Amino acid sequence: MLRKGVQIGAVGVGAGLLWGLFLQKTGRAQGFVPRPPGALPPNEFETACSKCGLCVEACPYDTLKLAGFKDIAAPGTPFFEPREIPCYMCRDIPCVKACPSGALPHTFEDITKAKMGVAAIDHNSCLSWQGLRCEICYRDCPEQNKAIIIENHPRLLSKHAMFVPVVMPDSCTGCGLCVHSCPTDRPSINIVDPEKFLGKIGDHYRLGWKEKLDARAVPEAPMKDAGKPGGLDFLNSELP
């Protein structure tokens, strides 16, 4: 009886430890990967995801794919590679609707609130930052003037200003359209892990000049036709 108990215990513990070791590699992502919009935070996502691929089947652009063993993401979980196919931010978010497990919670309804990652620009290879006129990322950004803005920087040796793209992390959804369209050999703008990339300024810093600007800012006068229905948000939406 004791002998049998020891045998069973040894096999169970041994199998459990080896299995657990293997899980370190296959259970969780080995780094940052852009997940479908509205996904739970990284560790919770891998716990919740049932690896069924229904979001992949629902994606009309073939953006999403299920990870294999060579990918950074845990095998079987959905992710996308923005340089190949970015997330086109469907307004009806079919991938979230398709998810049966709750890994993409159905309470997520506004695609512009997605945080699939955050865009980061490498100034040393960005064409616009070198002084050329590019701004493709800015033009392609679905949250234009919110997630990517263009700033004018004066130049030392020429009259012409530089038009440089700047990412606004609060509005950036991490969709990766900018990465997809960046014309440099390797993209000069990338979707990166917000947790690792974004800093925090600290409450004790006072940006006096910004406060002055805010105080001087005049509230926008209401537009003449404010009550009338506005234009289209998306080209494929119907007229109001």
What is the binding site for another protein (CB under 8 A)? Answer: 8, 11-12, 15-16, 19-20, 22-23, 26-28, 43-44, 46-48, 50-54, 56-57, 65-66, 68-70, 74-76, 100-102
For strand 65-66 and strand 118-121, is the pairing parallel, antiparallel, or unpaired? unpaired
Q: Which CB sits closer to another protein, 91 or 97?
A: 97
Least spacing, CB of residue 15 vs another protein, in Å = 5
Least spacing, CB of residue 11 vs another protein, in Å = 6
C-alpha 230/C-alpha 240 separation (Å) is 8
Q: Which CB sits closer to another protein, 25 or 133?
A: 25
Least spacing, CB of residue 236 vs another protein, in Å = 19
Q: Which CB sits closer to another protein, 11 or 207?
A: 11
State the Cα angle at 57 between 56 and 60, rounded to 5°.
Answer: 90
Q: Which of 67, 100, 97, 102 is nearest to 81 (CA)?
A: 67
CB 189 within 8 A of CB 179: yes
Q: Which CB sits closer to another protein, 58 or 166?
A: 58
Least spacing, CB of residue 40 vs another protein, in Å = 9
Phi, psi dihedral angles at 146 (to 5 degrees):
-115, -55
Helices (H) and strands (E) in the chain, counts: 9, 6
Least spacing, CB of residue 110 vs another protein, in Å = 20
CA end-to-end span of the chain: 78
Place of tokens 């945080």: 115
Q: Which CB sits closer to another protein, 75 or 131?
A: 75
Give the DSSP H/E element, type plus range, for residue 194. Answer: helix 194-197
